[in-house]
Structure 1
Amino acid sequence: MSHTSDTAVVPDLRSGQSKNLALATLAFAVSFWAWNMIAPLGVRYAESMGLTSGEKSLLVATPVLVGSLGRILAGALTDRFGGRLMFTVLLVATAPFVLLVAFAGDQDSYGLMLLFGFFLGIGGTTFAVGIPFVNAWFAADRRGFATGVFGAGMGGTALSAFFTPRFVDWFGYGVTHVIIAVALVVVALVVWSAMRDSPVWSPNTDPVVPKLAAAMRLPVTWQMSFLYAVAFGGFVAFSTYLPTYLKDVYEFDLTQAGTRTAGFAIAAVVCRPIGGVLSDRIGPRAVAATSFAGAAVMAVVVALQPEPEIPAGISFVVLAAFLGLGTGGVFAWVAAMAPKERVGSVSGIVGAAGGLGGFFPPLVMGATYDEADHSYTIGLMLLCATALVALLYTLLGIKKRKEPVSG
């Protein structure tokens, strides 16, 4: 009976999976662009408002907070209402706060920037919507590929880093925010009209709180939360703080720093689906271990402050590549280990952990910055140590019997 059911749904899945994967990735990318609107202009805000290093770090990290914690609720609601509705609602809900951030910036109000930046984090919750949505469209042996491709939508941070400062130069500060707000609404309309939930998906109508509690009782939730906090958290931390880092250490201006930050993000984005595909073939444990080992080594290399352009550029790109592999590998592991009916809830919690992993490092970087030497050595050594702990846990802390069976 199960075999007959599977055979019946395969044609429907194949006929819609590519389109829906593309739409989910588009929605994710645009929402992540909006989520990252403050960081590329962080230097501008710091100068216009006279912010200290700590205040600047808090400003660029604040949207990450809601974008992280909000994923827990977004993932659980996706299990109940489906990805089509949740993507649409979250895209529309983010748009007003893009405009309000522009208003706060025009007023040079640090308090309003923190307030509206907090709610701008709604845009970061779409990640927890896309993982269960995409999982339902693909068979188990292709979920590493599918979640990797969807995860490439985190390239929205690269688009933001590269284009946001340029849009401000080309169109003006206020118009730039209007463009992104309109893009959010337009993509929401496209998603609502063209996206469809998988025919094998069915609503999980369990009450949200017990559902989250059940997900939290699963060992996979906490195992993957830790690993994702290191891999994705490292990516988010660098994507948000790198413009400030490059100005402090290498004295690049806003546009130059944005361009280089975009290169960092693109490297991670390209490597995320590679991590997913490799996980389908050699297992996510090997991919995650390679990621953490490489990140530990590259954190030391970056701390040595290699000369611009080529040595420094290559160092940051390689660091980003290792982090990107890790994000793809960890979520392929989630797809393989989480119970089908709990994928949204588990993804939300794991995604929240990843976002929180990106919230604290900018604060640590700001607090440990050595102004006399223009150095972030302490923060980078802490990254190295954290990556090594994650490597040991990946190799020794997760039972091998829970690995996905190939074939």
Structure 2
Amino acid sequence: MVHWVPPDEEDNLNSLAIALPLALAGFIVAAGCWSLFAVAGVHIRDALALTSVQFGLMLALPMASGALLAVPAGLAAQKFGSVRIMILCLGGLAVSMLLLMKADTFAGFLFAGAGLGLAAGYYSAGLEFVTQHASPRHMGRVLGIFGGGITGIGLSYYLVPLILEAFAWRVVPLAYLIVLLLILVLLVLLTDREDPSSEASPETTVLGALHALVRFRLWQIAGWFGVVAGSFFALALWLPDYLASHYDLPVGHGAGMAQWFVLPGAAAQVLGGYLADRHGSPRVVTWALGVCLVALFVLSYPPMTLYVEGKNGRIEIEFMLPLLLAGGFMVLLGVALGCAMAGLQRMMVVQNRRLAGFAAGILLVSACSVAFILPVLFSAVNQWLGVRSAVFMILFLLLACSLILFASACRREERLTLLRGGI
């Protein structure tokens, strides 16, 4: 059977075949830059003798700068054209790589690390770029594929230890610089910069966009997305050092294990977008958050020793989650968080497609704010309690509260819809 495709949708699909791979490739590289300190930061910590709080601050700073840059980049993408802003963000990341090659003090690394937040600006502009070429029917899948660019975090976990083992630290930013320049050349050659998505719309101003978001009551979605995506980013940054310390592994092996969390989470964004297109975002997000709580509950248990007074003396029984089983629950947690992110992202953009770039910025402001706070909180709690698995306890409480609030809001919205239908 031959299915007839409307001409407009066929044009969208043709342009999407070029736009989506380009935007995705750029986001993969940008995400790798964004999380550069997750692995390389351990070597910087040892070289500069940083404290736990200083190390947590260095990990979190790119997220903080990303929160500041996401909204301006989204608005600029709507006003001046998304491709122009994508190119500017990648160019800024290239400058940050040059600064990292020269940095040799804690302040210097912080200054260069602040520029890594331009990855968030690229996300805002890139989401605006791909939504211009996507039809409503495929919006969840397109957003999921683009969001899957966070596989760049997992790739950095694999590539950075290899580069550090074969060469010196300075080669790491050099390698990223070369790839960034390659993507920049492809964007310049294969895209049209004359693509501003707004036509003197008042919603391209900050006040107009904020008014629209208040009108559509999307701040709640941004809050839930912030907790879910912020938890994902914070864990992605924290896991290499956590696994290496908790299971007494080399840092490279800890980073390799962290891919069990990051790569399935990135791939699950495509699955989550597909399921949200078919079954609706609220149902996907609710089930995904429930699965997250199960995984976090298991991962929260710290190693324990039980002493039993036996007939012939004291019996010592040690409890510790085996490495392989912990890896399985990390995969489960990554997949569930990825599906939840995709569902919330689709919910936000579908309800406010005219402000896709700005909406993406609001999502990232929320996510980066949470991702900035959590590593510092993880470091402080770890130093205070001395229990490494406390990070999972913190996330369990955050996501449990989010699930309760999200489910209540969805029930309330369903009741309002039924009442409107009955009038």
TM-score by length of 2: 0.87
Aligned residue number for residue 272 of structure 1: 269
Aligned residue number for residue 329 of structure 1: 343
Please give the residue correspondences for 1:252-291 in structure 2 after superposition, counting only pairs within 5 Å: 252-291=249-288
Aligned residue number for residue 224 of structure 2: 227
**After superposition, what is the alpha-carbon deviation per residue over 1:64-118, rounded to whole angstroms, capped at 9, x for unaligned?**
11122211111111111222111111101111111212322xx2x1111112111
**Residue 56 (structure 1) shift:** 0.8
Secondary structure, aligned partner of 2:246: helix
**Residue 148 (structure 1) shift:** 0.2
Task: Tell me if structure 2 keeps the 8 A contact 1:136–1:198.
Answer: no
When residues 186 and 172 of structure 1 are mapped into structure 2, their CA distance, relative to the original with a 3 A threshold, is same
Task: Tell me if structure 2 keeps the 8 A contact 1:230–1:386.
Answer: yes
1:380 matched to 2:392? The reply is yes
Secondary structure, aligned partner of 2:36: coil
**Residue 372 (structure 1) shift:** 7.6
When residues 196 and 144 of structure 1 are mapped into structure 2, their CA distance, relative to the original with a 3 A threshold, is farther
Secondary structure, aligned partner of 1:333: helix
Aligned residue number for residue 344 of structure 1: 357
CA distance in 2, matches of 1:249, 1:212: 45
Look at both structures and tell me which one has the larger radius of gyration over its CA atoms.
2
Indicate the larger mover: 53-62 or 350-359: 350-359
Aligned residue number for residue 251 of structure 1: 248
Aligned residue number for residue 39 of structure 2: 40
Aligned residue number for residue 374 of structure 2: 361
Task: Tell me if structure 2 keeps the 8 A contact 1:42–1:244.
Answer: no
Aligned residue number for residue 303 of structure 1: 300
1:133 matched to 2:133? The reply is no
TM-score by length of 1: 0.90
Residue type matched to 1:123 in 2?
A: A
Aligned residue number for residue 164 of structure 1: 160
CA distance in 1, matches of 2:220, 2:417: 12
CA distance in 2, matches of 1:32, 1:171: 22
Aligned residue number for residue 320 of structure 1: 334
Task: Tell me if structure 2 keeps the 8 A contact 1:272–1:328.
Answer: yes
Residue type matched to 2:13 in 1?
A: R
Aligned residue number for residue 99 of structure 2: 100
Aligned residue number for residue 178 of structure 2: 182
Task: Tell me if structure 1 keeps the 8 A contact 2:236–2:258.
Answer: yes
When residues 217 and 48 of structure 1 are mapped into structure 2, their CA distance, relative to the original with a 3 A threshold, is same
**After superposition, what is the alpha-carbon deviation per residue over 1:230-280, rounded to whole angstroms, capped at 9, x for unaligned?**
211111001111112112322221211111122211010110110000000
Task: Tell me if structure 2 keeps the 8 A contact 1:148–1:328.
Answer: yes
Residue type matched to 1:53 in 2?
A: S
**Residue 286 (structure 1) shift:** 0.9
Residue type matched to 1:25 in 2?
A: L
Aligned residue number for residue 235 of structure 2: 238
CA distance in 2, matches of 1:343, 1:234: 23
Secondary structure, aligned partner of 1:304: coil
**Residue 220 (structure 1) shift:** 3.8
Could you tell me which runs of 5 or more consecutive residues in structure 2 were left unpaired when the two chains were aligned.
303-319, 419-423
When residues 342 and 258 of structure 1 are mapped into structure 2, their CA distance, relative to the original with a 3 A threshold, is same
C-alpha root-mean-square deviation of aligned residues, in Å?
2.3
Please give the residue correspondences for 1:37-116 in structure 2 after superposition, counting only pairs within 5 Å: 37-104=36-103, 107=104, 109-116=105-112
**Residue 53 (structure 1) shift:** 1.1
Select which of 117, 127, 133 maps to 2:113: 117
CA distance in 2, matches of 1:176, 1:226: 35
**Residue 377 (structure 1) shift:** 3.8
**Residue 325 (structure 1) shift:** 0.7
Aligned residue number for residue 17 of structure 2: 18
Task: Tell me if structure 2 keeps the 8 A contact 1:23–1:195.
Answer: no
CA distance in 2, matches of 1:358, 1:389: 17
Identity of aligned residues (%): 22
Task: Tell me if structure 1 keeps the 8 A contact 2:39–2:240.
Answer: yes
Residue type matched to 1:300 in 2?
A: F
Could you tell me which runs of 5 or more consecutive residues in structure 1 were left unpaired when the two chains were aligned.
1-5
Secondary structure, aligned partner of 1:397: helix
CA distance in 2, matches of 1:182, 1:298: 38
Aligned residue number for residue 3 of structure 1: none
Task: Tell me if structure 1 keeps the 8 A contact 2:264–2:335.
Answer: yes
CA distance in 1, matches of 2:220, 2:28: 27
**Residue 214 (structure 1) shift:** 2.3
